[in-house]
Amino acid sequence: MAIDLISRKAWGARSPRGSHTRLDSTKGVKVHYTGGRVDPRIVDEHDRCTALVRSIQNSHMDGNGWIDIGYSFVACPHKKVFEGRGLNRLPAANGSGLNRGHYAVLGLVGNAGLLEPPDGMLHAILDAIDHTRQNGRAGDEIKGHRDGYATDCPGGPLYAWVRRGAPRPDGGGNGAPEPPGAPPFPGRLLKYPPVTRGDDVRTWQAKMAEREWEIDVDGAYGPQSRDVCRRFQRQQEIDDDGVVGPVTWRRTWEAPQG
Ligand SMILES: [Zn+2]
Ligand SMILES: [Zn+2]
């Protein structure tokens, strides 16, 4: 599966503060999580992934005093892979003495907020792993940070997945997975202002009307649609930003009728 790689330049990485140590080959990859809170809204908006990766680089350089972000690659929910230190460079995230053995791949989940890796993120982690094997002389090991180091990383859900042999999820994995019944997410946010118009808006409105919300099915997402969306989001106990992103879209079809 082709990797959707975001170069350092494309995500606005800072230049490393020193020169990287060459890494000829590894036994494989260690999987990581952030260890902090990850705002679940990254699932709805890829720009938030980019901002988060930049902040991780800042904390590694300014807080840890490292020359660069500590990870080799970072996987986001949108099946995209950020280039961290990249191939054939010693990572820093595995812990002292453990960096030569494995590339370090981060999944953008944490110990609060976004806990469960969406399918798109699992695909991205595997795309990064394939990339290290094909182009960076990585061996076939897939381990968690906690293997051989005292840490909770990569957290319960990701570690359980690693222990199951890191299977690739079914389906395309383009962003949040769609359950049976939900049409594919249109790939843009439905929001107001300004008014968003289109068949995707009409499809969402029609489903909301079917769910017995009072909403005009006119293909124009204005103040009325936004207000209905907000009330639906509150009912669902998700972030009530009044914007139909992948999560709200999915729940429109998936959530049991109250
Ligand atoms: Zn870790
Ligand atoms: Zn993303």
pLDDT at 183: 85
pLDDT at 182: 82
Q: How far apart are CA 64 and CA 146, in angstroms?
A: 19
Ligand 2 center–CA 29 separation, angstroms: 21
pLDDT above 70: residue 101:
yes
Ligand 1 center–CA 57 separation, angstroms: 14
Ligand 2 center–CA 121 separation, angstroms: 9
Q: Which uninterrupted H or E stretch holds 73?
A: strand 73-75
pLDDT in tens, 149-185: 999 999 999 999 999 899 999 854 444 444 557 888 8
Average pLDDT over residues 82-100: 97
pLDDT at 29: 98
Torsional sign, CA 247, 128, 8, 21 = positive
Proximal ligand: closest to the CA of 105: 1
Ligand 2 center–CA 115 separation, angstroms: 15
Ligand 1 center–CA 150 separation, angstroms: 10
Ligand 2 center–CA 87 separation, angstroms: 21
Proximal ligand: closest to the CA of 46: 2
pTM of the model: 0.68
Ligand 2 center–CA 79 separation, angstroms: 7
Proximal ligand: closest to the CA of 111: 1
pLDDT at 258: 59
Around ion ligand 1, which residues have CB less than 5 A away?
Answer: 32, 145, 153
Nearest CA among 104, 118, 101 for reference residue 40? 118
pLDDT at 177: 47
pLDDT at 222: 97
CB count within 10 Å of CB 202 equals: 15
Q: What percentage of the chain carries pLDDT values higher than 90?
A: 88
Ligand 1 center–CA 30 separation, angstroms: 8
pLDDT in tens, 202-236: 999 999 999 999 999 999 999 999 999 999 999 99
Q: How far apart are CA 68 and CA 74, in angstroms?
A: 13
pLDDT at 47: 96
Q: What percentage of the chain carries pLDDT values higher than 70?
A: 95
Q: What long-range pairs does 232-235 form, CB within 8 A, spacing at least 24?
A: 232/208
Q: How far apart are CA 74 and CA 71, in angstroms?
A: 7
Q: How far apart are CA 204 and CA 234, in angstroms?
A: 17
| Contact yes or no for 160/48 (Cβ under 8 A) | no
Ligand 2 center–CA 183 separation, angstroms: 21
Which residues lie across from 113 on neighbouring strands? 38
Q: How far apart are CA 162 and CA 142, in angstroms?
A: 7
Q: In sequence order, what are the residues at sequence separation of 6 or more whose Cβ sits closer than 8 angstroms to the Cβ of residue 219?
A: 197, 198, 199, 201, 202, 205
Proximal ligand: closest to the CA of 71: 1
Proximal ligand: closest to the CA of 33: 1
Average pLDDT over residues 61-89: 98
pLDDT at 184: 84
Rg (CA), the chain: 20
Ligand 1 center–CA 180 separation, angstroms: 34
Ligand 2 center–CA 5 separation, angstroms: 11
* Mean pLDDT, the chain, whole residue set: 93
